Chains A and B, each alone.
Chain A
């Protein structure tokens, strides 16, 4: 028995150590790539660049899709923030996905919506559309009332109704900057359509001061759980998105605010209705299509902040979110498992998929194993102390040092939280990450994995406070 236990401890110890080293090395590499890319832009006057694209002549029209299911609190504010966007040609399509509250009535009354007869081309099959309305106040604002079919189905209806060559999906709780759309469309416009989808850097809105639906000043909130998420977002941004985007390896662009070429999205079959992570699914399907058609197209991540979103403030809601995200990730990777290490898909198959499998998807399992290992090792006695200490140190490098580096680098380049006090608070909190936040999120993500295996999908919706209320409460 003891021999077997010894073997297990050495084997798992070695395995986890090896795994952690691989992860640390790949994160380091991505961090360096991101640093070089971002460093170049330091002190570059952004207004010159933003303004160059304001003219309708340079830009391409975009349909903004707002799927709404029981969003009576937030939907009006969301639409106002879209009306606020500085972009020459847009249409706003609100899709009421069979809400059971008064979402439909609220929108109809607020924007003086009038029923219209309109033939919709069914590019993507969807649930039945009941009625289409047009606003009497804002000519470019349309409301579609449809049978309940989920967010993906609502977005597909939006794509069918839309008349412009690009569409942008917007989450009900997203707060946009007036330059959001310009920034996210920039790579598409500049590349003459070589970039067929783009997503931007998502920020956490909790603690930000807002005026008329735009963020005017960012302050660090008091809730430690939210601060940890801010740090996590900065990390994901610097150690992942930028580097992956540079080599066209992005598999996830946030559904909170991303633009797609309609032609490509339709050809890829639109959003899948039978999967949790419909945004990732669409990106992967488009990648597949690019390879199939052997065209030189790219999916890009824009480092500029484009969208502010409300982060969960309580453990329960955060747990739901993380469980759902991870379940979605696993589901998508599993669905496209044949792409993994498949040379037919180029770097996506050879690099991106293995990275997402090993680091993002199965990582929590191994890492949580590491935590358990440390605890067990201390009980089992002296001989395992050393492995446990090494593991702990790797966790420190991985958790604490990478987090602090991300915070500092973010502060240096983007300066989202200008107050020195905020910066120091984030750094101090980063030291505590490995003791509570990390294990908790790991546990939740593992729960997500388990739920996928058990095929459970009764995930809850996030409870919203509504942007308007937040404006007063923060």
Chain B
């Protein structure tokens, strides 16, 4: 038995070594190919960079030199477009990139979408969204019907959100896949304002993840249009929604009345009290001081700390805190007020 094992192990080791040897050769050949690919790409990049600049920025006429011949040249164009899109925000440039991609890059990505390799398909989907290749929308819809991964579906949703918001909302509604909050935010961030507001109007019909993502997106878009939507949510039954709505209103930073916020000063949840203390940063101190003093004596450290910070940032803040020090007998509140005053003076 042992003899058999020795020969068996020898065979196994031998076979494995041969396989690894072949694999090494494959990798080395592959490397050579990659180097050649990179050379062609870099040459094209070098030779055409000026033409691209002239075409995209200087409004010069389109030159045939720019039309890609082969994959390596497409790779070069992708690099150029990505860097332009990332570094400058200019509608004219975006439009030109879109136009060019829809005509000359379309066929490459169409082919990529039918690739067997997941990563190639994903790259194609990224580009379709980035370069706004609307001409491939139908192909994308066909692609959706094939067996695709969750990641690919997510990219498709992103594409729909740009080209066909109606379809996007429909898909979100019927989608069986549940994404994470941050993924929903990535989807909503691209939506036009009117579509986004519509999403908000059906607020209660969405899942909590979508609801949270919608509130956070509204906060980041910093659009006055969303203030009313967020205020409506302050009476929502779910505390998490209330907290997020308060956070969103704080982020937008425009507080036109304090009445809706006053009841929250005595909320049972410290997170809500903390948010109110933060929101009062956007309101003159004479309207809010009474409430902030109450929050300065809160049982929660974070709330006390935020209330002190809010007060001290105001013009007459330090004087108010000093007045408070003289009259108060709450040791925790006094400690917080003292430390905040010292810090403020130190930073001046």
Cβ of B81 to closest chain A Cβ, rounded Å:
12
Contact (Cβ within 8 A) A418 B31: yes
Near B by CB (< 8 A), chain A positions 399-414 give 401, 404-405, 408, 411-412
Nearest B residue (CB) for A44:
B119
What's the nearest-Cβ distance from chain A to residue B71, in Å?
A: 12
B175 sits at the interface (CB 8 A): no
Chain A residues in 8 Å Cβ range of B177:
none
> Which of the segments B3-11, B266-274, B290-298, B312-320 contacts the partner chain?
B3-11
- State whether A405 and B20 are in contact (beta carbons under 8 Å apart), knowing that A191-B180, A192-B182, A390-B5 are contacts in the complex: yes
Q: How many Å lie between the Cα of A401 and that of B14 in the bound state?
A: 10
Residue among A192, A405, A427 with the highest chain B CB neighbour number at 10 A:
A192
Q: Is the CB of A401 within 8 A of B123?
A: no
Q: Which residue of A lies closest to B20 (CB)?
A: A404
- Does the CB pair A386–B3 fall under 8 Å? yes
B189 within 8 Å of A by Cβ?
Answer: yes
A58 and B182 form a contact (CB under 8 A):
yes
Per-residue CB proximity of B31-51 to A under 8 Å, as 1/0? 100000000000000000000
Check B118 for interface membership: any CB of A closer than 8 A.
yes
A396 to B12, CA, bound (A): 11
Which B residues are CB-close (under 8 A) to A418? 31
Least CB separation from A56: chain B residue: B220
A378 near B: Cβ within 8 Å?
Answer: no
- The digit string for A169-201, where 1 denotes a CB below 8 A from any CB of B, is 000000000000000000001111010000000
B-chain residues with CB within 8 Å of residue A424 when the two chains form the complex: 24
Measured CB to CB, the nearest residue on chain A to B219 is A57
Please report the C-alpha to C-alpha distance between residue A215 and residue B342 in the assembled complex, in whole angstroms: 42
Nearest A residue to B184, CB-CB: A192
**Nearest B residue to A393, CB-CB:** B9
Query: Does B27 lie within 8 Å of A423, measured CB to CB?
Result: yes
Instruction: Name the interface size band of chain A.
Output: 35 or more
Query: What's the nearest-Cβ distance from chain A to residue B299, in Å?
Result: 14
Name which of B6, B120, B339 has the most chain A CB atoms within 10 A of its CB: B6
Instruction: List, in ascending order, chain A residues with CB within 8 A of B123's CB.
Output: 43-45, 48
Q: Is A290 an interface residue (CB 8 A)?
A: no
Chain A's nearest CB lies how many Å from the CB of B153? 15
> In chain B, residues 105-136, which have Cβ atoms closer than 8 Å to a Cβ of chain A?
117-120, 122-123, 126, 130
Q: Which of B68-91 contact A (CB under 8 A)?
A: 82, 86
Known: A116-B343, A401-B20. A57 touches B185 (CB 8 A): yes
Cβ of B100: which chain A residues have Cβ within 8 Å of it? none
Chain B residues positioned under 8 Å from A404 (CB to CB) = 20
Q: Tell yes or no: B181 within 8 A of A by CB.
A: yes
B224 within 8 A of A: no
Instruction: Decide if B183 is an interface residue (CB 8 Å cutoff).
Output: yes
Q: Please measure, in the bound complex, the distance between the C-alpha atom of A191 and the C-alpha atom of B216, giving whole angstroms.
A: 16
A121 contacts partner chain B, Cβ-Cβ < 8 Å = yes
Interface residues in A82-125 (C-beta closer than 8 Å to B): 114, 116-119, 121
The reply to whether the CB of B103 lies closer than 8 angstroms to some CB of chain A is: no
Measured CB to CB, the nearest residue on chain B to A53 is B182
CB of A386 to closest CB in B, whole Å? 5
Cross-chain pairs A/B with CB under 8 angstroms, 10 sampled: A43-B123, A48-B126, A58-B182, A116-B346, A121-B301, A192-B182, A386-B2, A390-B6, A390-B9, A408-B23
